[in-house]
Structure 1
Amino acid sequence: MKQREVTDKHNTTWTCAQAYAALESEAAEQAVAKSETADGNVPVVCTPSGGAQTVRLELAKDWFDNLSDEELAQAIQAAQ
Structure 2
Amino acid sequence: MQQREITDQENTAWTCVQAYAALNSAAAEKATNIVESNEGKVPVVCTPSGGAQTVRLELDKNWLEELSDEQLEQEITAKQQSS
For Structure 1 versus Structure 2, the TM-score category normalised by the shorter chain is over 0.9
Unaligned runs of 5+ in 1: none
Name the SS for the 1:72 alignment partner: helix
Q: Where does 1:1-80 land on structure 2 (aligned, <5 Å)?
A: 1-24=1-24, 26-80=26-80
Unaligned runs of 5+ in 2: none
Name the SS for the 2:37 alignment partner: coil
Post-superposition CA distance 1:42-79 (Å, at most 9, x none): 10000000000000000011100100000000000011
- TM (norm. structure 1) is 0.93
Name the SS for the 2:6 alignment partner: strand
Give the Å deviation of 1:32: 1.6
User: Sequence identity, in percent?
Assistant: 66
Give the Å deviation of 1:29: 3.2
CA distance in 2, matches of 1:16, 1:47: 6
- TM (norm. structure 2) is 0.90
Moved segments of 4+, more than 6 Å: none
CA distance in 2, matches of 1:69, 1:25: 25
